[in-house]
Amino acid sequence: MQPETYYHVYNHANGSENLFRSDENYRYFLRQWVKYIEPIAGTYSYCLMPNHFHALVRVYDENKVLQFIHTKQPTLQGFETLEGFSNTISRQFSHLFNSYTQAYNKMYNRRGSLFIPNFKRIEITSNDYLTKVIHYLSVRKAGIHHNPIHHRFGKQYDDWPHSSYNPLISNQPTRLQRQEVIEWFGSTEAFKSFHQQNIIYPDQIKLESSTKTPNPPRV
């Protein structure tokens, strides 16, 4: 994962397991997300489902990530290679998954891994791609906010409490990059209207292999 780059990040539980069995599980996962991911990436959108999750993030620049790493490794002068930077970001996600798994295992008296190894991340390469990721995920045919409807956990986007849809359309304090998200769509009402559209993408559109020239929203 590269600095100042947007990614669609997702992962799934092992086999037929669930990641979340109770509301407290969802809340705890978000608390751990704040602890491990917020210091190295901004979060723009997310959806937590019983056995998987999706998130749209933008990795911070090297200096900001280095400031955080200095709290744990004061002698680190910088990242010698982009691979070293990428490994640092990936480790933060590993810490998230491991810490959540340990607490989950203790709560439910289980053992072993909970998440599928090697979480998935897809680079966002254009504004068009970005809005499609928010509404619609290519292969799964379900967007970050469309996901609960696709999986029949609700008929409206605001029916599902474990996504960023409601925080993004509210005026309540949030850790999400809400202002930027709303600016991408033009207004809160435009954001809502976009999500009411029944957007059907041709099968040949593959968001993962988008070849459009990168043109990410300004930060």
- Residue-wise pLDDT tens digits, 11-21: 999 999 999 99
Instruction: For residue range 90-104, list pLDDT tens digits in order.
Output: 999 999 999 999 999
Q: For the chain, what are the domain ranges?
A: 6-209
Residue 64: the pLDDT is 94
Q: What percentage of the chain has pLDDT greater than the value 90?
A: 49
What is the CATH T-level fold of the domain 6-209, as seen in this structure? Answer: Alpha-Beta Plaits (3.30.70)
DSSP secondary structure string for all residues of 47-82: EEETTEEEEEEEEPPHHHHHHHHHTT-TT----SSH
Contacts 24+ apart (CB under 8 A), 29-37: 29/53, 29/100, 32/96, 32/99, 32/100, 33/96, 34/175, 35/96, 35/99, 36/92, 36/93, 36/95, 36/96, 36/99, 37/92, 37/93, 37/96
Residue 159: the pLDDT is 60
pLDDT bucket at 199, cuts 50 / 70 / 90: low
Residue 157: the pLDDT is 44
Instruction: For residue range 135-180, list pLDDT tens digits in order.
Output: 753 233 344 445 444 444 444 445 668 888 888 899 999 999 999 9
Cα separation of 151 and 53, whole Å? Answer: 12
Cα separation of 30 and 181, whole Å? Answer: 19
Instruction: Quote the mean pLDDT of the chain.
Output: 80
String of b and e for 65-92 (b: at least 16 CB within 10 Å)?
bbeebeeeeeeeeebeeeeebbebbeeb
Residue 115: the pLDDT is 97
DSSP H helical ranges for 127-173: 127-135, 147-150, 165-169
